[in-house]
Structure 1
Amino acid sequence: MAGVTKSWALVGLAACCLVLSGCAASAEEPTAAAQTDAANDGFSAFLTGVRAEALDKGLRAETLDAALSGVQHIDRVIELDRKQPEFTLSFDEYLGRIVTPSRVEEGRRKLAENRALLTEIEQRFGVQPRFVVALWGIETGFGKNTGGMSVISSLATLAYDGRRTKFFRGELMNALTILDQGHIAPSAMIGSWAGAMGQCQFMPSTFLKFAVDWDGDGKRNIWTNRADALASAANYLSSEGWRGDQTWGRSVKLPKGFDAKLVGLDTRKSLAEWNALGVKGNDGKPLPVKDLSGSIVLAEAGKGPPFLVYDNFRTIMKWNRSTFFALAVGHLADRIGGK
């Protein structure tokens, strides 16, 4: 304060008032520690409310004690949610990153290693093995990269954040329900920063609808049980309308002057009708004579390349509503299958 006293003598009463008002303002501002304490208190109160709601829904107190006792607010989750990178890759660049030679090779190896299991899964759910393996490879690198964050802490952080409270609070309740059902221990419920879990990256609500206890041990374990994870992926596709007697689509060539209004999933025509409109296979030959209907989509809006896609493509889009993603699954599945 000695330096402040000298300034009074030099600049007079006006400066004195400014300095004093500045000091008063500083005194009123909370310290960083006080702000942290307040934030922690708010998060603790939020978790108390979550626990009360879960109890009202019939979840056991001992489950909630185990699940919520170590929950923390993860600042990194909010950073990732706020700063998701803008998608600027071209389709060719994206495909080059997803459908790599190493992933194709590993996919073929996984297909061979799990042939008996995948055949049984196909017999039950009607989903061709190459598509299950393709999704497995794209989502988690065939089970190697399932995320490293506590699902409960991640979902609690996002629900508390307020931007999408209703959605993430619902997913948090679903995650607590999964724990209460005994499928996984709280410490082992690991996933992505957004709460996607296991080898097929299911959100908790998706888990409750589609996860499968393939080996009959009473637990739907999509984290470390390969059979449960692959069967769950197949059950999702099957439940959402997968056709086991069809593929996903094919690359095509459009005639000069093709009507742009015919592009998009809203327009569906038979292969015979597309043939009549001049659409040809990528090899320049007419489309096959099959009792199939499909739609023309462009990988990049207004640019291409063009594809003729069938109902299974629509089902993949339910898994992830990205045209790039669905096309990549189809391409990887074809490559894994030897095409």
Structure 2
Amino acid sequence: MGAGWLAKAAVVVCFLLWATTSLAAAEDFSAWVEEFRAEARAAGISAELLDRALADLTPLERVIELDRRQPEFTQTFEEYLARRVTDARVEEGRAMLARYPSWLNKIAEQYGVQPRFIVALWGLESNYGRHTGSFSIIQSLATLAYEGRRGAFFRNELLHALKIVDAGHISLERMTGSWAGAMGQAQFMPSTFSNFAVDGDGDGRIDIWHSIPDVFASAANYLSRHGWRDDQTWGRPVRLPKGFDASLAGLDQRKRLSEWQRLGVRRIDGRSLPTRDLQASLLLPEGVDGPAYLVYDNFRVLLRWNRSNVFAVSVGLLADRLVEP
């Protein structure tokens, strides 16, 4: 036998192995879908919707790839801020404040959340509705529930997503978002939608994909329900004295502003801290020689939205710049 024959035989064997593996995987996924269908019916989701949503459903390889190969976070705190709190985003955010004053003021009064924070979250989550994701939420969540590292979590999100469609808030075809299941201009996960999204424009549906009032009201409701105070800000960048004791930093430690003042902490421009004696924690994301922030209770509410300190600081700094004179 020649080397050419052996090479062809090897190709055939590889193809047969691939075909066998693919067939087994398809059968496994089909079995998973049927098991999930029974669970969804028991949860009250209509058979008609399940027939449409689960028919010919297949895992999305791109979602599996993205889930398994999430890039390692290599940006510094300052680099992250510089890429997100940009002059262009500030300029557009100011334009949005000017474009929607009636809705923003109405929602601010109803939920007790300042308009600048609603707009800042909108800007950071979807660049003011421009980038919301084009993945099918149902297919992405089914893929992650079946194949992903947190199957139980995404299975529950898939149930919520189907309930949202079944309630008539959005069609299957228009329910798109990120590969990980975040939806619409607010980038809510389906369970977050179920618990906090609201009908801001009063049309009987909750549409965080296309209705600006629904986006604003849903974001404000989320913050309000987690304890937001509209008589306070998020915090502020500060300046530390030389030789400051870095062990005083951390969200687990709180001191009144008067105490931080006595310790030599000042506003970033050197002026004294506000006289209102709020409780505040000192955040030193890159150590005592890096940027420093005194953060209040509203900062902790932003952490409920996204558990990243740098995201919460980005929201605060963007919100501040939107209303700078």
Q: Match of 2:293, SS?
A: strand
**Cα distance change, pair 301–194 in 1 and its aligned pair in 2 (3 A):** farther
Alignment match of 1:247 (pick from 233, 241, 245): 233
Which residue of the other structure, out of 144, 147, 150, is the alignment partner of 2:133? Answer: 147
CA RMSD of the aligned region, Å?
2.1
Amino acid at match of 1:308: L
Among 229, 248, 271, which residue is 2:257 paired with? 271
Pairing 1:75-86 to 2, within 5 Å after superposition = 75-86=61-72
Residue 167 (structure 1) aligned to one of 148, 153, 173: 153
Task: Give secondary structure in 2 for the equivalent of 1:186.
Answer: coil
Is the alpha carbon distance of 1:252 and 1:48 closer, same or farther for their aligned partners in structure 2, counting shifts above 3 Å?
same
Q: In structure 2, how many angstroms separate the alpha carbons of the residues matched to 1:285 and 1:303? A: 20
CA contact (8 A) 1:134 1:332 kept: yes
Over residues 158-213 of structure 1, what are the superposed CA-to-partner deviations in whole Å (9 max), with x where a residue is unaligned?
A: 11014211111111111111111111111111000000001000001100010001
How far does residue 72 in structure 1 lie from its aligned partner after superposition?
Answer: 2.4
TM value normalised by structure 2: 0.94
- Matching residue of 1:318: 304
When the two structures are aligned, how many residues end up with a matched partner? 323
Bigger mean CA offset, 281-290 vs 181-190: 281-290
1:92 partnered with 2:78 = yes
Q: Matches of 1:257 and 1:242 in 2, distance apart? A: 34
1:13 corresponds to: none
TM-superposed deviation, 1:257: 2.5
How far off is 1:304 after superposition? 2.5
Q: Which residue of 1 aligns with 2:18?
A: 32
| Distance across 1 between alignment mates of 2:306 and 2:199 | 23
Superposition pairs of residues 1-339 of structure 1, within 5 angstroms: 2-3=1-2, 30-301=16-287, 303-338=289-324
Shift of 1:319: 0.7
- Alpha-carbon distance between aligned partners in 2 of 1:277 and 1:181, rounded to the nearest angstrom: 55
Structure 2 residue runs of 5 or longer lacking an equivalent are none
Q: Is the 1:211–1:235 contact (alpha carbons within 8 Å) kept by the matching residues of 2?
A: yes
Q: Distance in 2 between matches of 1:40 and 1:211?
A: 35
The CA deviation at 1:3 is 2.3
Query: 1:32 offset after TM fit, Å?
Result: 2.0
Any unmatched runs of 5+ in structure 1?
7-18
SS at match of 1:188: coil
SS in 2 for 1:31: helix
CA distance in 2, matches of 1:212, 1:86: 35
- CA displacement at 1:280 relative to structure 2: 1.1
2-side partners of 1:231 and 1:89: how far apart?
32
| TM-score w.r.t. length of structure 1 | 0.90
Shift of 1:299: 2.8
Deviations 1:236-261 (A, max 9, x none): 01111111001111111112222222
- Conserved? CA contact 1:199–1:223, under 8 Å: yes
Instruction: State whether residues 67 and 148 of structure 2, in contact with CA within 8 Å, keep that contact through their aligned partners in structure 1.
Output: no
The question of whether the paired residues in 2 share the 8 Å contact of 1:71 and 1:152 is answered with no
Q: Secondary structure at 1:187's aligned position in 2? A: coil
* Percent of matched pairs sharing the same residue: 57
